[in-house]
Structure 1
Amino acid sequence: MAPYLANPSRYDEMPYRRSGNSGLKLSAVSLGLWHNFGGVDRFENGRDIVRTAFDNGITHFDLANNYGPPPGSAEEAFGQLLRADLAPYRDELIISTKAGYTMWPGPYGDYGSRKYLVASLDQSLKRLGLDYVDIFYHHRPDPDTPLEETMAALAQIVASGRALYVGLSNYPAPLLRRAAPILRELGTPCVLHQPRYSMLDRWIEPALLPALADEGIGCIAFSPLAQGVLTDRYLKGDIPDDSRAARHGFLKPEQITAERLDVVRALNAMALERGQTLAQMALAWVLRHSGMTSVLIGASRPSQVHDAVAATKAAPFEPALLEKIDQLLAPLA
């Protein structure tokens, strides 16, 4: 196979957005490796997806220690891709990983202690074949470890050169408001928060988005397509054999209710009127927030990357359409 040469016009179309008050900019669309990059998946398919993403201006690739399956295998796969294709472009990439979920047995393989976070990142760096990651997240709050210890561990990780920036994920607004000042005082401000957010899951709007704005922290939404519900996959009412719902993962078949499908079909009609796919409108809707730095997509084939990138070219939402969308979504709130 010929050596990979990136598309020379890859930066021409993709918008890049600043992450909060930091100097860091991310591509408006980022690629998450939560699914389809594990040891059970076909490596060459993942390779095609990553190449397509970078060729279209996606510079941010998001991982976690437990992504697979098995856990750790997504980092290993991306490490292979770096060595095979992307090593010459390392300084053009933003590579993130996380720790916070169970990775090994015993009391030191989970949550948010300094012991776990440092050890986990060291393992991640080995799997990736890197000296540092660009962003390291604490993946979820730890109810037992003092918040000060977890934040101090993140600051230590940056001071040690293992990461350039730190982020938080799945933190509710009150806890984020406590964590952010600690990190600033330690000289390692939080630059990014990663919550779940979509048209069908708007929990961040009342409190978290205002908290992020107040603290000068960027936001990158995961599951913006509600695990595929906000695509054309389920419009006919059945569960495709190769869908996430069929695999009984985070999306369960019983979540594909008739009421929800009626709303999704109505959203699809609105998207078609705008000249978009449903997925493109759902991504553009998330990106409409001024404080939304990027939106994380998953992809099982390169065509889905092209579809997502096209969402960045969407026309602004008219206020009347946003109001109509709000009215449609209200019964699901």
Structure 2
Amino acid sequence: MTYIPKESRYDEMTYNRCGKWGLKLPAVSLGLWHNFGGIDTLENGRAMLHRAFDLGITHFDLANNYGPPPGSAEENFGRILKQDFKAYRDELIISSKAGYLMWPGPYGEWGSRKYMLASLDQSLKRMGLEYVDIFYSHRPDPDTPLEETMMALDRAVRSGKALYVGLSNYPADMTKKAAEILKELGTPCLIHQPKYSMFERWVEGGLLDVLEEEGIGCIPFSPLAQGLLTGKYLKGIPEGSRATREVFLKKKDVDSAHDKIVTLNEIAQSRGQSLAQMALAWILKDKRITSVLIGASSVNQIDNNVEMLRNRAFSKEELQKIEAVLK
């Protein structure tokens, strides 16, 4: 069946400017890190993308290595884009990244000009696109001069293969230096994508201040701490859950956070929210945050997360209770 998006898709979503720049992103963006790869069900991914767009989520975030296997998320997204979203390309913000291992040899990862631009070409081919809206350096390279990586980002824009550039996983001091280099090159840094959640707060130690000073937007990934900040682990570790795979989320992480999760869930219930909804709203309370980047395995999860927008305000007492748990 032909996909026709809802006419009311822009009625409920909030859109925020990226720092001082003109581009706006939805307060909730959809990441394709998990559940859109070659081992996943394509029709489930298609249903999630349809639902996200119907809810006003215009930003779909990818990277060259998303899958598994690496590259398959972009391939699947390209198929769905061609079939269902081709007529709506100008309503979408599509991002990709380069930095992690993609092919063997010395030019298959990190931040050299050779790797960054070759990776972008491959990503565009996989997705069937002429350009991405945002192209990121996915991680800093300890062995490549920062100037070289930033010159590659600048080249991506000047070649017409990206509209904007961003950084991901860069510490505060390196972010400031990178922003200065990009400004001199004439391709300013639009946005930073760091890991940030109630349980991962390193960005509060200087990065958010740098982003505010430089007028750079912020879109945190893993805002639900790989599922810890959902109701999934309130009663232990369910069979087949992410923690059982012992990859990004470990069983020991669940065990050590269990008591905090239970208490935070009680606070969320007192607000009339799920734990996931409260965790997302807690991040968005900071005006320096442009959007929260969610992952999802079902349409229902997307619905639940977006519902958070109806209750984003916190009382002083609620924030104090949350801080007491997180200390």
The aligned counterpart of 2:134 is 135
For 1:321 and 1:199, the matched residues in 2 are separated by: 14
Alignment size in residue pairs: 327
Runs of 4+ that moved beyond 6 A = none
Report sequence identity in percent.
64
Match of 1:256 in 2: 254
| Alignment of 1:244 onto 2:250 | no
Q: How far has the Cα of 1:260 moved from its partner?
A: 1.3
User: 1:206 Cα shift?
Assistant: 1.7
Q: Which amino acid aligns with 1:171?
A: Y
Q: 1:300 corresponds to which residue?
A: 297
| Separation in structure 2 between the aligned mates of residue 304 and residue 146 of structure 1, nearest angstrom | 41
What is aligned with 1:162? Answer: 161
Q: Which residue is equivalent to 2:19?
A: 20
Deviates more, 1:307-316 or 1:193-202: 307-316
Q: CA deviation at 1:248?
A: 2.0
1:76 aligns with 2:84: no
After superposition, give the CA deviation of every residue in 1:151-183 in whole Å (9 maximum; x if it has no partner).
Answer: 011001000000000000000001001110110
Amino acid in the other structure paired with 2:274: T
Amino acid at match of 2:26: S
Which amino acid in the other structure matches residue 161 of structure 2? R
Q: Confirm whether residue 7 of structure 1 aligns to residue 10 of structure 2.
A: no
CA drift of 1:16 comes to 0.2
Q: Does 1:327 align with 2:297?
A: no
Unaligned runs of 5+ in 1: none
Backbone CA RMSD of aligned residues: 0.7
State the one-letter code of the partner of 2:209.
P
1:249 Cα offset (Å): 2.0
Q: Secondary structure at the match of 1:168?
A: strand
Residue pair 2:282, 2:312 contacting (<8 A) in 1 also: no
Instruction: Return the TM-score normalized by structure 1.
Output: 0.97
Please tell me the residue identity of whatever aligns with 1:21. K
Alignment partner of 1:142: what SS? coil
CA pair 99-315 structure 1, distance change in 2 beyond 3 A? closer
Structure 1 residue 281 and structure 2 residue 278: aligned? yes
SS in 1 for 2:16: strand
Q: Distance in 1 between matches of 2:245 and 2:58?
A: 30
Instruction: Report the 3-state secondary structure (helix = DSSP H, G, I; strand = E; otherwise coil) of the residue aligned with 1:293.
Output: coil
Deviations 1:101-138 (A, max 9, x none): 01001110110000000000000000000000000000
TM-score (norm 2): 0.99
Corresponding residue of 1:110: 109
Shift of 1:315: 4.0
**Which AA in structure 1 matches 2:322?**
I
Q: Report the CA distance between 1:242 and its aligned residue.
A: 2.5
d(CA) in 2 for partners of 1:310, 1:137: 29
